[in-house]
Amino acid sequence: MTTTHSAPSATDGAEQQLQEQFDASIAKDQRIEPRDWMPDGYRKTLIRQIAQHAHSEIIGMQPEGEWITRAPSLRRKAILFAKVQDEAGHGLYLYSAAETLGADRADLTERLIEGRQKYSSIFNYPTPSFADVGVIGWFVDGAAICNQVPLCRSSYGPYARSMVRICKEESFHQRQGYELLLTMMRGTEAQRAMVQDAVDRWWWPSLMMFGPPDGDSPNSAASMAWKIKRHTNDELRQRFVDMTVPQAAKLGVTLPDPELRWNDERGRHDFGTPDWSELQRVIKGDGPCNAERITRRRTAHEEGAWVREAASAHAAKTAARIPDAPQTQEGTAA
């Protein structure tokens, strides 16, 4: 990070004026852009949130990626390829946004593979059946859409713009998942059982994706005040439940929550409480696949080192051979 640390104090007139300008921009719902002055806390919170989000996309390639070679048809294989490639793309849009805040790409990767920065707990669950691919698209990408649509109006410009792009692509992810499940539900009894089993395993972890309950979410208040976040964890979780219940009915599966029912007074669904101790365990590294995910990411990074070095060496050699010559034949920009 390259932030300058100047102690905020009332006597520091310039600093105070900058703070007032920043506060006024936030109050007027204007976007903050990379070169604007911003409080250190705002910058740090954003880097943490965007980096975690980017890491989640990158690690998120793994659970479904395992099914690429085993997809049941060429059509499903091509779709899955495209989806996993999108996840990589989402990670890169987000790393790009984090870098506008002064974060360093190589440093972010280090933080991920050393376990110093987190990613979404959901990707630490295994994918033992092909129905998991469908349920991930339906639940996990559906939950991601609930989370991310409001982030398109996040106060930080580059983050909001990444989100617009990502949300457009998530819609494909959710629909391909649901369509996959519809197809399986029209299949054999065994296939329907696979779908129900995957739903049973992913429902509660999906609800946990929205984070701890509001009373227990230490960073939420500041993020809301800065308009980085627009809705609380509990509000987003409720939206996800309300959105998903009719989809489950249409699909013909049961959501594994005996307390789930429509509440006429509230005009929303009541639902049970996720096992928050499980969320804490998984976040702290003790989920079913935490070690596997990080090891795989580390291995890919380390085993790819020679490629990065070779490309750098080639670039240096080419640059030395033809000094100042353009490296491509595309001609002038205009």
Partner 1 sequence: MSNTDDSKAGWPLYEVFVRGKRGLNHVHVGSLHAADDRMALTHARDLYTRRNEGVSIWVVPSVHIAASTRDEKDPFFAPSADKVYRHPTFYDIPEDVPHI
Phi, psi of 148 (to 5 degrees): -90, -25
Does residue 308 interact with partner 1 by CB under 8 A? yes
Residue 92 sits in the site that holds partner 1 (CB under 8 A): yes
d(CA 135, CA 22): 42
- Cβ–Cβ < 8 Å for 256, 200: yes
* Contact between 37 and partner 1 per CB under 8 A: yes
Rg of the chain in Å (alpha carbons) = 22
284 is a contact residue toward partner 1 (CB under 8 A)? no
CA distance 135 to 200: 10
# residues contacting partner 1 (CB under 8 A): 42
Which one, 190 or 333, has the nearer CB to partner 1?
333
Any bridge partners for residue 155, and if so which? Answer: none
**Toward partner 1, which CB reaches closer, 38 or 208?**
38
Q: Which helix (H) or strand (E) holds 262?
A: strand 261-263
Q: Does 320 bind partner 1 (CB under 8 A)?
A: no
User: What is the SS3 assignment for 111?
Assistant: helix
CA dist 199 and 221 (Å) reads 32
Question: For partner 1, which residue of 12, 23, 40, 104 counts as binding (CB under 8 A)?
Answer: 104
List binders of partner 1 among 122-181 (CB under 8 A). Answer: 158, 161-162, 169
Per-residue tokens: 316: 């240096």
Binding window for partner 1 (CB under 8 A); candidates: 106-114, 183-191, 203-211, 241-249: 106-114
Report yes or no: 21 and 42 within 8 Å, Cβ to Cβ: no
36 binds partner 1 per the rule CB under 8 A:
yes
Q: Is residue 116 close enough to count as binding partner 1 by CB under 8 A?
A: no
Is residue 242 at the binding interface for partner 1, with CB under 8 A as the rule?
Answer: no
Name the segment binding partner 1 (CB under 8 A); options: 34-42, 50-58, 190-198, 201-209: 34-42
Q: Tokens at residue 88, please?
A: 């990589």
**Phi, psi dihedrals of residue 39, rounded to the nearest 5°:** -65, 150
The one segment of 42-50, 191-199, 222-230, 312-320 that binds partner 1 by CB under 8 A: 312-320
Residue from 10, 13, 14, 35 touching partner 1 (CB under 8 A): that is: 35
Give φ, ψ of 32 to 5 degrees: -90, 135
Q: Which amino acid is residue 289, in one-letter code?
A: C
Q: How far apart are the C-alpha atoms of 172 and 174, rounded to whole Å?
A: 6
Structure-block tokens of residue 203: 């429902």
- Bridge partners, 156 (sequence order): 32
Residue 89 touching partner 1 (CB under 8 A): yes
Q: Is 300 in the site for partner 1 (CB under 8 A)?
A: no
Select from 6, 16, 85, 171 the one that contacts partner 1 (CB under 8 A): 85
Work out which of 66, 107, 200, 242 binds partner 1, going by CB under 8 A: 107
Nearer to partner 1, 254 or 312 (CB): 312
Backbone angles phi, psi at 268, to 5 degrees: -145, 175
Does 34 engage in binding with partner 1 (CB under 8 A)? Answer: yes
Asked if 182 contacts 250 with a C-beta cutoff of 8 angstroms, the reply is no
Q: Which residues of the chain form contacts with partner 1 (CB under 8 A)?
A: 2, 21, 25, 34-37, 82, 85-86, 89, 92-93, 96-97, 99-107, 109, 158, 161-162, 169, 308-309, 311-312, 314-315, 318-319, 326-328, 330, 333
